[in-house]
Amino acid sequence: MNKKYILFIIAFLLALSFLWLEIKKESSPTPTPNPTPTQVITPTPNSSAFSKPIGHLAKFFPNTKQYLKAGDVLSAATSRGDSPENPMTTNNAKWIKAMQDLNSVNLEGVEKHLLLSATEDAKNLIGYVPDDVDYIGYNMEGGMTPESDFTDVAASVKAFADIVHNSGRKMVFGPIWKDWDKYSSSTLNDILKAVDEVVIQEQANLRNTYDNNGYNDFINDVKTKTEKFKKINPNVKINIQLWIGRQMPQQMINGFKLIEQHVDSVSIGTQEAEAGVITVLQGLGR
């Protein structure tokens, strides 16, 4: 076989191979590109451990005590619930459970708070409150506080505060969140000068969203109220409450860190989500 014929065969085979590769390339399906991940805008809170006191219900203490430190707050509520006109008594199941929960807390340096929902209850029950309870809270909300207490809010808060202070304890006031914006200047002035601490329910202002506006609205409201309240009473302590369910635990962690410099303490609100409480405590560096 001559040399020219061999070269012709080789060239022909190479051409066929090239043509086959091109046909295969064109017939192959175009691969689906990976979708571009949606960018979630989140704040960049301080990465260090949260330095302010943290509060939650005392009933979670058996499983959260390892995350607590001096200054943290464990509370129990004895509100009138859905019977605001019926006085709380020491025979009520809520009172009995609250005493059990508070008495189970045996960690030195942790504060104990008892929450009531009526001035009359403070008057009638103050003598039955355990000596190691540091604060008595007035949870003033419709549906759990008698109508008579709303007739003159400032007077009710002052009467409650006098009862608490005369017992040697401090008083914390926590109305429903929207009422803070409804009080007149004189009412707000009288309230803040009568109490030692206020709880601001901010779960409605930190919307269940991870965009910057959600956080900014929350931060701005906290800063505005804190500055306003401290101007009236520089000694009043500001506690910010968020609520698991209204906020996801990670959003709550971010939110608390973003307001850390503006507040005195924070509260993890929930009646049942113990796992969520632990997640938040861990996320805050406990």
For range 98-122, the mean pLDDT: 97
Per-residue pLDDT, averaged over 54-79, amounts to 97
Convert the pLDDT of each residue in 151-196 to its tens digit.
999 999 999 999 999 999 999 999 999 999 999 999 999 999 999 9
- What per-residue confidence (pLDDT) applies to 29? 42
Sign of the Cα torsion 141, 142, 145, 150 reads positive
**What is the number of other CB atoms lying within 10 angstroms of the CB of residue 52?**
19
Q: What is the mean pLDDT of residues 224-237?
A: 98
Residue 217 has pLDDT above 80, yes or no: yes
The predicted structure's pLDDT at residue 48? 79
Retrieve residue 270's tokens. 């929930």
Q: What is the pLDDT of residue 33?
A: 38
Supply the pLDDT for residue 7.
47
Closest CA to 82 of 8, 145, 134: 145
pLDDT confidence tier of residue 81, bands split at 50, 70 and 90? confident
Domains and CATH numbers, the chain: 54-283 (3.20.20.80)
Q: Quick check: 15 and 226 in contact, CB under 8 A?
A: no
Q: Which helix (H) or strand (E) holds 69?
A: none
Q: Which residues touch 120 (CB under 8 Å, ≥6 apart)? A: 87, 146
pLDDT tens across 6-38, in order?
A: 544 555 445 555 444 444 444 444 443 333 333
What per-residue confidence (pLDDT) applies to 26? Answer: 45
Residue 5 or residue 80, greater confidence: 80
Give the percent of the chain with pLDDT over 90: 77
Measure Cα distances from 266 to 56, 68, 151 in Å: 9, 13, 30
pLDDT for position 82: 81
Exposure string for 89-121, b = 16+ CB within 10 A, e = fewer: eeebeebeebbebbeebeeeebbbbbbbbbbbb
Backbone angles phi, psi at 270, to 5 degrees: 180, 150
String of b and e for 251-281 (b: at least 16 CB within 10 Å)? Answer: bbbbbbbbbbebbbbbbbbbeebbebbbbbb
Q: Which of 138, 150, 172 is nearest to 85 (CA)?
A: 150
Helices 274-283 and 249-258, axial angle in degrees (round to 10) = 40
Burial class (CB in 10 A: 0-12, 13-18, 19+), 33: exposed
Residue 268 in contact with residue 236, Cβ under 8 Å?
no
* Crossing angle of helices 153-166 and 185-194, rounded to 10°: 10
Token pair recorded at residue 201: 């329910």
pLDDT at 215: 86
User: Can you read off the two tokens belonging to residue 143?
Assistant: 């549906």
Helix (H) or strand (E) run with residue 241 in it: strand 237-243
How many Å is the Cα radius of gyration of the chain?
31
Average pLDDT, the chain: 87
Q: What is the pLDDT of residue 213?
A: 59
Which range is least confidently modeled, 25-29, 94-98, 197-201, 209-213? 25-29
Say what the pLDDT of residue 206 is. 87
The residue-averaged pLDDT of 84-91 equals 96
